[in-house]
A and B are shown apart, each in its own frame.
Chain A
Amino acid sequence: MPQFFSNKRLIILLASIIVLVAMIGFSMKDRKELSWPEQFLKDTVGVSQSLFYKPANSIAGFFENLSEMKHMYAENKKLKSKLNEYAELSVSVQDLKQKNQSLKGQLEKEADLTEYHVKEATVIGRSPDRWNKFIFVNQGYKDGVKTDMAVVSPQGFIGKVTRVAAFHSTVQLISDNDQNNQISAIIEGDKRIFGTIEGYDSKKQSLLFKKIPVNSTIKKGQMVISSGLGEAFPRGLLIGTVAEVKADETGQTKIAYVKPAADLYDLSHVTILERTMQQLDENEFKAKEEE
């Protein structure tokens, strides 16, 4: 049996375990900003990531298109029938928008939770170990991205910005199992149910909407949207649909399993949203009260 550790090595190992614990402790603190060496590394790696990701993605996309060609005819037929509905819908949306605007004008309300500015970003990579579910995008604070902004794909909400460097940033997907990864959400229905989405069940591939009162009735297929309360997200982003409702371990509340609307794996272009209405500053609030 070979001797793996001499005494000196054993001490080095023990010291490095202490350093490991210290480093994990340091990084588990809720850090809002990256230090400059981290930002520099992030941007450097980001540049090389975009060199590889874009060509690989376009090649894969080409083959995907080839296989999609087969279903084209059936799809086209279906889409044509949808198009008629769309025309009707867009007219009524236009109408509603105008009505909304005029009503808002009467109320003299400047902004509300649903309004936002849009920034387009391209995905340049993804965290390879699936314990952490991060994607990397090519927009940083030079482009006006800040932490905690909401990120959506064309199908729906996918996550929030957690780390920002000068030209690149990291997006934490909703499926990440971090304890701080909570999103306040609403289950739409006759009676709205407010709550938070915390955690992800990887076996069922659905998000967990926890702490629902027992007496509330939730059906399969109800929409879940972001509530815009508490965070810097706009209101009304589609998160997913309810797939299953269960009583939780204590029996006091219920858990809803929410199937994400967006495909969290097939992401190439995402949109970063900045809510127009900022969270009320405490000073501002006081100033308003004094007026």
Chain B
Amino acid sequence: MSRILLPFITYIAFVLESTVMQVLAPEHYGWDFLMVPHFAMVLIILMSCYLKPSYGIVYGLIFGLLSDLIYTDLIGVYMFSTALVAYFIAVLSRYLFSNFFVTILLSILGVAGLEFLVYGLNSLIGIADVKMADFFYDRLLPTLILNAVFTIIVYFPFAKLLRKIEG
């Protein structure tokens, strides 16, 4: 049962990124910083912390491809970045204790990695024309805060589910 629940929950997190979070986006209230939700990525990071590395990589590939196809114009950027981040987190988490704080830290690290990879690839292609300092203060820091808050909210219920799947 919980095995079927896992893709379903990740999909809902993926859809929330483009709908509910866009209604609550800071631009609506006239603030000029960006908070980019990476909720599916956060869940995938938690998966790679608690399950086999293959889980994180496969989910990363699938949901990365999905966001490439639906949210962007280029196929491959998110697919590659999400899977790579999931792999790195899986390797790192084997050398660290899996407690609450370490997981939050890993999730922040993973989201920052994803943001940097996507920023790098997009500036290579010419879609992103933002300077590094602007990227860092206006986009990266608020994004990390938003996703850290999301990780704290979902951590306990989601870790419980993952332990159940692990058996």
Contact = CB atoms under 8 A, between A and B. Distances in A.
A270 to B, nearest CB: 15
A60 B21 CA distance: 11
Interface stretch (B43-51, B118-126, B157-165): B118-126
A128 B127 contact: no
A100 interface: no
Given A20-B80, A266-B28, A132 B127 contact: yes
A20 B75 CA distance: 8
A265 B25 contact: yes
Contacts of B6: none
Contacts of A129: 36, 71-72, 118
Contacts of A134: 71-73
A52 B129 contact: no
Contacts of B75: 23-24, 26-27
Interface in B85-138: 88, 91-92, 94-95, 118-119, 121-122, 125-130, 134
Q: 4 tightest A-B contacts by CB?
A: A23-B76, A52-B19, A53-B19, A125-B18
A52 B28 contact: no
A216 interface: no
A202 B74 contact: no
Interface string A51-94: 01100110010000000000000000000000000000000000
Given A45-B66, A178-B73, A131 B34 contact: no
A49 B127 contact: no
B61 to A, nearest CB: 10
Contacts of B84: 13
B72 to A, nearest CB: 5
A49 B16 CA distance: 8
Nearest to B20: A56
B139 A130 contact: yes
Among B20, B25, B28, B84, residue most surrounded by chain A Cβ atoms (within 10 Å)? B20
A178 B128 CA distance: 9
A125 B127 contact: no
B118 A41 contact: no
B20 A28 contact: no
11 contacts: A4-B88, A16-B80, A23-B75, A45-B70, A125-B15, A125-B22, A128-B38, A131-B122, A134-B73, A179-B126, A265-B27
